[in-house]
Amino acid sequence: MTDTLPPVDRATGAGKRLVGQSVPRKEDLALLTGTARFIDDIRLPGMLYAKILRSTVAHARLRDVDVSKASEMPGVHGTLTGSDLLGKIKPWGDLMQDLLVGDHFPFATDKILYEGQEIAAVVAESKYQALDALEAIEVAYEELPVLVDPEAALAADAPLIQEGITYEFGEGNIFDRYRVRIGNAEQAEAEADVVVRQRFVSNRQAGAALDPHGCVASYDSFTGVLTIYSSTQSIFMVRDVLADTLQIPRNRVRVIVPEVGAGFGSKAQMFPYEVIASVLSMRLGRPVHLVLGRGEIFRSGTARNGQVRYAELMLKRDGTITGYRDYVVHNCGALSLWGNQVVHIGTNVGMLPYPIPNIRVDADIVHTNTAPGGPLRGFGIPQMIWAKEQLVDMAAEELGLDPLEVRAKNVVRPETFPYRTPMGQVIDSTSVYECLHASADAIGWKEKRAARVANEGVGLAVSMKYTSCRHPSFDTDLSAVRLRLETDGTVTIFSSDVSHGQSHATFLAQIVSDVLGVGFEKINLAQPDSATSPFGLGTFASRGAAVLGTACRQAAERLREKVVAIAAHVLEASPGDLETGNDRVHVKGLPDSGLYLENLAAYAAYRTHQLPPGFEPTLESVATYDTPTEREASDGSGNLSVTYSTAAHAAHVRVDPETGRVTVVDYAMVHDTGTVINPLVVEGQHQGGFLMGIGMALGEDYVYDAAGHLLNASFKDYQAPYATEVPELTNMREIPAPSQTIPGGQKGAGESGTGPVPAAIGNAVYDATGVRFTALPITPERMLLALKEKASQGVQTLRFPDDMHDFTGPRTYAEWPGPTSEGDEEGWLL
């Protein structure tokens, strides 16, 4: 009998390394089976429901808020207004450096600054009773003139939005200023053969995370600990600002995240609802659920900052870019925690991939009576690329050059790395030149331009996106991981950086598996919890793979040293002769021998006499990685990101001349994401990034009327693309140039896919129709009206909206406004 058994082909050794493999995501089972628990799924015993009354006007003096009737309504346990909290909690907005004002408060107290601002809250047995009671609250307003247009906010006689706050530049609607002074842009202009100039306007875009903003706060009066479950991207940002606002110790605030169904930058701060739920829970001693509705999220969540850019690009006859000048009016909405950072980072990094020697940028960062501005996938880079990459095409046309060749001539392509650009970025590796050509080839650039098809066109755009960021307001760029080898040989990863689509559970496990030799299936990521997770900044700025991944690699290496030390002692071997793999520590070349991690963990936990003399009996390791990035210098320069990812995109569009519909026929994306840990995950990130890019390009915008009412605050009316509007996204590839700074070579993936999309499509639309869109989005309505205008004017090319007959803004360079301050005086601070 026994001799009939086939020989066993026993797998030996550590097996394939997992980094680089498309390992299926650990996250998917819960998501695909509907068992993942999001914020609105949290149910705690005795939980009450709170709802917020929001302003229906955009600018007003708040004369009175009367909650007396509401508090008598059935099921109501309490109400809360601004006057209840004045003097009892601290305004926020000034925790981080350079964000100098405490202009955030849970409710409007004396003035309403935008439609949707919080006025009062009710907490009741059910959310329906809470909503009923909101209707009984009486509010007296005195309406004020409304400012929607950011350029109008600069006028001397413009209504003042934030009153009683003295900004760095005095009282007014200018919240902050920003400038860049690199080289000599005036000299570059004088010496240029061609200067192209255009006013570009970019739109407001929603994060539109399907999982709503919300929280459940639960205060335990016995321990004095406030536990808050929140759908956030950063548990420590919420914890620190919330504790500071409530003026309670930070170790008495515990922030836990449930599954977070995306954020895109829109959940990267503490919001008023988190304070409201916390105060109500502390007051009543019961858990309080407060989850926002979609209309509330549109109106009071943060939306991508809109910009007006008066942008100029200077070139030599051969296409060499010699200078860039820009005056930016940056719309932060009524109040904004991150908004001014967006123009800093977006402009600095958005200058790439061109090492432009002469740069002058001035920005006025203004308030309007609109939704708070904030970070959104790309953090200012899509806005900058929208302007700059269209200028490149305009210059190429004027010079009679191929836009591909102009780009190829200018992209950063140093002979040696690292290379520092005039703007200060340290390029540690890049394949941008190869990516650019590969994307053009993938779309059939030369062939399609040679064989023209009516109403079809091709366009290019290229960007390099930060991986992590040392924000000017935030002199840190760190993440941390603690690993614990459990007593059964499994490994738990603790991290405070919230995975909300970035696949932390999967890619961190790939790293740990490779370093420690432990099976992928034995590794588990604990849910971020400020009581147990090591301190980290959170998940934003495409930093997960590079920053958190590096912390994880270091923690795994430290844990590996410990298990190898124990094994060496037990096996009486030299640590240098041992390696990890196959769930054990073994002598090199003998992967089926050695000691299982399970046994080694048991020595450290339960058989400590087996440990090497003096060995501290722990199988935990922790590592914090802070990137070697720089602070922004006073001239605007600096290496703000640890490394830079490339996105070279090429669009082929078709424009229907009868309906104005723009169809993206084909779209090629070639990226440099460095060493890709998980191609499946990175591909998904690029596709998702593209989706937000095409939404920005073709449909999404916050549409306000003159009174500051948001007219499209629902998914029915807000024109985000559905899956049916997205082209097949298989024309994509990676040309990896592994980062020299990050030990694993990886670069950020999350936001690369967004930046070039509006410009690539804009350039393709121009190629197809002769209409140069200078404002976003390119809706069918605008496209068709532009085509009709072009026909009626009998011109070959037309700018939308600049050349439309009813356009009222500045059409020519001579009419352009200038910065409100040139900022060249002595002692001018950023």
Partner 1 sequence: VKAFTFHAPQALADAVTLLGQHGAEARPIAGGQSLLLAMKERAATPSVLVSLSGVADLRGWHQDGDGLHIGSGTTYAALAGSTFPTWQQEIATVAGNLADRPVRTMGTIGGALCQAEPRFDMPALALGLDATMALVSASGVRTLPASEFFRLEGGTVLQAGEILSRVSFPPAARFSGVAFEKFRVRVFDAALVSAVCAVRVGVPAEARLVVGGVRPTPVEVPGVAAELAADLDGADPAELGRRCADEVLPAAEATTSLARYQRELVAVVARDAVIRALATARS
Residues in contact with partner 1 by CB under 8 A are: 128, 131-132, 135, 295, 658-661, 699, 716, 719, 721-722, 724-725, 779-782, 784-785, 788
Neighbour-count burial of 559, counting CB atoms closer than 10 A to its CB (0-12 exposed, 13-18 middle, 19+ buried)? buried
> Looking at beta carbons only, is 199 or 782 nearer to partner 1?
782
> Looking at beta carbons only, is 604 or 662 nearer to partner 1?
662
> Looking at beta carbons only, is 480 or 786 nearer to partner 1?
786
- The span from the CA of 263 to the CA of 252, in Å, is 26
> Looking at beta carbons only, is 178 or 690 nearer to partner 1?
690
Q: Are 41 and 12 in contact (CB under 8 A)?
A: no
- The span from the CA of 121 to the CA of 108, in Å, is 12
> Looking at beta carbons only, is 127 or 465 nearer to partner 1?
127
> Looking at beta carbons only, is 219 or 690 nearer to partner 1?
690
> Looking at beta carbons only, is 171 or 705 nearer to partner 1?
705
- Both tokens of residue 662? 């723009």
> Looking at beta carbons only, is 561 or 781 nearer to partner 1?
781
Q: How far is the CB of 139 from partner 1 (least distance, A)?
A: 17
Q: How far is the CB of 297 from partner 1 (least distance, A)?
A: 14
Q: Are 200 and 227 in contact (CB under 8 A)?
A: no
- The span from the CA of 640 to the CA of 65, in Å, is 46
- The span from the CA of 810 to the CA of 803, in Å, is 10
Among residues 233, 408, 396, 265, the alpha carbon closest in space to that of 342 is found at: 265
Q: Are 653 and 661 in contact (CB under 8 A)?
A: no
> Looking at beta carbons only, is 557 or 725 nearer to partner 1?
725
What residues have CB less than 8 Å from 179, skipping those under 6 apart? 360, 361, 362, 363, 636, 823, 828, 830
* Beta carbons within 10 angstroms of residue 826's beta carbon: 4
Upper half-sphere CA count for residue 54 (Cβ side, 13 Å): 21
DSSP-assigned beta bridge partners for residue 482: 494, 622
Q: Are 780 and 700 in contact (CB under 8 A)?
A: no
- The span from the CA of 260 to the CA of 544, in Å, is 15
Q: How far is the CB of 378 from partner 1 (least distance, A)?
A: 23
DSSP-assigned beta bridge partners for residue 180: 361
- The span from the CA of 337 to the CA of 241, in Å, is 12
> Looking at beta carbons only, is 35 or 659 nearer to partner 1?
659
Task: State which amino acid sits at residue 181.
Answer: R
Q: Are 313 and 361 in contact (CB under 8 A)?
A: no
Q: How far is the CB of 229 from partner 1 (least distance, A)?
A: 24
**DSSP 8-state secondary structure symbol assigned to residue 170:** B
> Looking at beta carbons only, is 36 or 785 nearer to partner 1?
785
> Looking at beta carbons only, is 118 or 132 nearer to partner 1?
132
H-type alpha helices, 495-617: 504-516, 549-571, 597-606
- Both tokens of residue 767? 């190629």
> Looking at beta carbons only, is 68 or 659 nearer to partner 1?
659
Q: Which residues of 181-192 are buried (b: 16+ CB within 10 A; e: fewer)?
A: bbbebeebbeeb
> Looking at beta carbons only, is 609 or 716 nearer to partner 1?
716
- Both tokens of residue 66? 């009367």
- Both tokens of residue 485? 């080898």
Neighbour-count burial of 356, counting CB atoms closer than 10 A to its CB (0-12 exposed, 13-18 middle, 19+ buried)? buried
Q: How far is the CB of 137 from partner 1 (least distance, A)?
A: 14
Beta strands (DSSP E) in 593-684 are 595-596, 620-626, 643-655, 662-672
Q: Residue 214: in which H helix or E strand, if any? A: strand 214-220
- Both tokens of residue 408? 């190829």
Among residues 181, 182, 97, 151, the alpha carbon closest in space to that of 330 is found at: 151
**What are the φ/ψ torsions at residue 22 (nearest 5 degrees)?**
-80, 70
Is the alpha carbon torsion for 800, 803, 805, 811 positive or negative? positive
Q: How far is the CB of 659 from partner 1 (least distance, A)?
A: 6
Q: What is the DSSP string of 495-530?
A: --BPPSSS-HHHHHHHHHHHHH---GGGEEEPPPBT
> Looking at beta carbons only, is 152 or 703 nearer to partner 1?
703
> Looking at beta carbons only, is 16 or 716 nearer to partner 1?
716
Q: Residue written as tokens 């956030």?
A: 232
- The span from the CA of 223 to the CA of 244, in Å, is 19
- The span from the CA of 140 to the CA of 106, in Å, is 19
> Looking at beta carbons only, is 615 or 807 nearer to partner 1?
807
